Structure 1
Amino acid sequence: MDVARVGEPVEGDADRDDTDRDEADTGRRIHPVLVDVETCDGTDASKWEWIAPPSLRSRSAVPWLWAAYDAVRPTVETVTADTTYGSTTLSVRALEVLRDEAALASDASRGDADAADGEQAEATAAERVRAVAREVRAARPAMTAVTNRVNRAVAAAEDASDGFAATVADAAHEGIERASEADETAAANAADALPGDRIATLSRSGTVLAAIEVAAPAAVLVAESRPGGEGVGVAEALADGVDVTLTTDAAFPAELARWDADALLVGADTVLPDGSVRNKAGTYPAAAVAAREGIPMLVVTATDKISPDADVEREAWPGDPLYEDEAAVDVANPTFDVTPAACVDALVTEQGVLDPGDVAAIGADHRARAAWTNE
């Protein structure tokens, strides 16, 4: 169990919605804590179900539960600042932000019973939701999954008969479930496609981790993956039951052959229309050496990471970790690089292995869903 966020204390006598108020709980102080835990099946309970957090506002629940969640729920700011997780997780966080804000906007629009004012309230709610969608897209412009998944949720509401905000909230929630299913299927497909039992990888991809767990190779080689060094955490996560070797980024390409890797398996932050792959810095040199040494490179990713256009957003870390003294030295500390399609032996997704035509067609679908941004 990992602590994700700790919120400011919530006062029990604060001015809260009636759905949160309980006279017996006034005067209490609640300390909100959001934790990441493994999924539990709830078999100890007589009745249970998964629900979207906004529904806490209209259900009978533990007093002040919504107020506590509200203090720790994901925001545009937390999505922007996160340097721990990859684009898959952050795209889900972005959808959670959109879902929660859309649900709140929908609730607010229903508060006006007058028909004329109700129409205006709905229009105001729709504009608020579009503004949040733009903000959350802009939070991580380099992560295509964030953009595509937010676009899908908003596009679903453009011609909806129900309220715009409510439809976006539902579509965002469905998008979260779809993302999980896509990653699970892609990981299983990648596990089936992996040759041999000595697998090399870099950076942190939840889909790659899942594929390795399913494939159960005998040994894994992991690059440290600076900037950020998230490869260390990956090595630790895999160390139970697998022979894991952690190496530096500089040594990783040469180690592929020396270590006798059967395959290089990586994730993707973005797949460009020509099939090239934007991923953590260090992927390209590793892929180039793998190609020279005859080591197959597999990229596992969800189709929502296929970009509708060829533009590449540059995202870089601060220069401080590299150089902090006073000489006139420019520091380049990029987060990502782009690996040409020629270096990729298989692009594995929830739809199976894609060819260039598949990539182009999926990119066109994503482009169509972005039409709302031109309004």
Structure 2
Amino acid sequence: MRYPRRSLEVLREVERDRRLGAIGLAVKALDAFKPLAEREGTSVSLLKGLTKRLLKTRPTMICVGNASAELCCRIMDKAKDGEVSEYILREAERMQKRLVLAKAAIADAFSQEVDRPIAVYTLSNSQTVLECLKRIRDRLEQVFVALSDPGHEGRDLSSELSKTGVRNLLVPDMAVGSIMPKVDVVLLGADAVLKDGSVVNKLGSNTAAKIAYLEGRRVYFVAEKVKVHPSDEELRLEVRFSKGEGYVPFFDVTPYGYVQKLICEDGELEPYRVRALADKYAELRRRVSSPI
């Protein structure tokens, strides 16, 4: 199959990008479909072929594959005659808009959990977490941002918070135990939510959640529904190469028992809803992988 050059460029950008968050990557991934709209006679076979390639890209960032599979199935459902070109651009932009707006809806839902001034601990550089913190800036006493090794994405989050006037302190990852007594809430993003409610996120999330649990602190994870991991697929956690250390883990898994509440764009994401979404995305992926 011959894909448009721009589609292949987007695939490479998604594969190599190490700064964008999961939703940012999903929005970018959907750009790979748009050049297909410029071709007359784009077939379902070509559409599904591109989607399959995206399903293999960034496996831990599960929303990249989920969003791609959902878009592909939406287009196939619209294009009953097998001609998909006219539906691609409209449906891709609709889904991108939905992904972007979800962040604000999650921030609204989280803000309802905070009824007094609080100190918050977070890590990495989740744009959803950033939106949540901006939404409650008038109720923030302090934000502790872990440096988030490897990658040090915490620097970026700290910088963005400072630009918006949110008081914050960048701290070493190993300081989590000594800082936790000063914290009211641990607020973390998510790269994937597993069918049992466990959460995949940047390395250090598991440790922070467990220490917070022992200290009696509230632990919130915020995640768009598109991040729910398909029920029948094996979890694959990315590793990264670190000079002098070789390949090191980049993500960890926090069991649901350490999560006080998992918040999505329409409120709390309870376990039964997670299971339903896991089955939904598994079915969408099966449709993409099935013979035409």
Q: Give the structure 1 partner of residue 236 of structure 2.
A: 313
Q: Give the structure 1 partner of residue 106 of structure 2.
A: 186
Q: Give the structure 1 partner of residue 86 of structure 2.
A: 166
Contact 2:44 2:76 in 1 (8 A): no
Q: Give the structure 2 partner of residue 277 of structure 1.
A: 199
1:315 Cα offset (Å): 0.3
Q: 2:67 and 2:171 mapped to 1: Cα distance?
A: 34
Cα distance, 1:332–1:294 mapped onto 2, change above 3 Å? farther
Q: Give the structure 2 partner of residue 3 of structure 1.
A: none
Give the unaligned 5+ runs of structure 1.
Answer: 1-69, 110-121, 324-330
Contact 1:222 1:235 in 2 (8 A): yes
1:312 Cα offset (Å): 1.4
Task: Say yes or no: does 1:108 pair with 2:40.
Answer: yes
* Equivalences for residues 185-264 of structure 1 within 5 A: 185-194=105-114, 196-216=117-137, 217-240=140-163, 241-257=165-181, 260-264=182-186
Look up the equivalent residue of 2:135 and give its one-letter code: V
Q: 1:95 and 1:238 mapped to 2: Cα distance?
A: 28
State the Cα deviation string for residues 128-148 of structure 1 (Å, max 9, x = none): 222221222212111111111
State the Cα deviation string for residues 258-315 of structure 1 (Å, max 9, x = none): xx11100001000000000000001000110000001110011111111122621120
Contact 1:297 1:344 in 2 (8 A): yes
Seq. identity, %: 28
Q: How many residues align?
A: 279
Q: Give the structure 1 partner of residue 69 of structure 2.
A: 151
Contact 2:40 2:85 in 1 (8 A): no
State the Cα deviation string for residues 37-95 of structure 1 (Å, max 9, x = none): xxxxxxxxxxxxxxxxxxxxxxxxxxxxxxxxx87996100000000111010000001
Look up the equivalent residue of 2:192 and give its one-letter code: T
Contact 2:200 2:253 in 1 (8 A): yes
Cα distance, 1:261–1:147 mapped onto 2, change above 3 Å? same
Contact 2:146 2:171 in 1 (8 A): yes
Contact 1:102 1:166 in 2 (8 A): no
Give the unaligned 5+ runs of structure 2.
Answer: none
State the Cα deviation string for residues 129-181 of structure 1 (Å, max 9, x = none): 22221222212111111111101111112232362233233222211011012
1 or 2, which has the higher helix percentage? 2
Q: 2:130 and 2:248 mapped to 1: Cα distance?
A: 25
Look up the equivalent residue of 2:290 and give its one-letter code: N
State the Cα deviation string for residues 207-246 of structure 1 (Å, max 9, x = none): 1100100011121000001111110111111124222111
* Bigger radius of gyration: 1
Look up the equivalent residue of 2:32 and give its one-letter code: V
Secondary structure of the structure 2 residue equivalent to 1:285: helix
Q: 2:9 and 2:262 mapped to 1: Cα distance?
A: 31
Secondary structure of the structure 2 residue equivalent to 1:318: strand
Q: 2:262 and 2:102 mapped to 1: Cα distance?
A: 14
- Name which of 29, 48, 59 aligns with 1:141: 59
Q: Give the structure 2 partner of residue 352 of structure 1.
A: 267
Cα distance, 1:335–1:194 mapped onto 2, change above 3 Å? farther
Q: Give the structure 1 partner of residue 290 of structure 2.
A: 374
Q: 2:69 and 2:202 mapped to 1: Cα distance?
A: 24
Secondary structure of the structure 2 residue equivalent to 1:108: coil
Cα distance, 1:265–1:194 mapped onto 2, change above 3 Å? farther
Contact 1:156 1:168 in 2 (8 A): no
Moved more, 288-297 or 233-242: 233-242
1:256 Cα offset (Å): 1.7
Q: Give the structure 2 partner of residue 297 of structure 1.
A: 219
Secondary structure of the structure 1 residue equivalent to 2:168: strand
Cα distance, 1:74–1:295 mapped onto 2, change above 3 Å? farther
Look up the equivalent residue of 2:21 and give its one-letter code: G
Contact 2:145 2:158 in 1 (8 A): yes
Q: 1:73 and 1:183 mapped to 2: Cα distance?
A: 28
1:344 Cα offset (Å): 0.3
Cα distance, 1:101–1:134 mapped onto 2, change above 3 Å? farther
Contact 2:142 2:167 in 1 (8 A): yes
Contact 1:101 1:132 in 2 (8 A): no
Report the aligned-residue RMSD: 2.0
Look up the equivalent residue of 1:343 and give its one-letter code: Y
Moved more, 143-152 or 357-366: 357-366
Secondary structure of the structure 1 residue equivalent to 2:174: coil
Q: 2:219 and 2:57 mapped to 1: Cα distance?
A: 30
Instruction: With the length of structure 2 as denominator, give the TM-score of the two structures.
Output: 0.89
Asked which structure has the greater RCO (Cα within 8 Å, sep 6+), the reply is: 2
Q: 1:96 and 1:229 mapped to 2: Cα distance?
A: 28
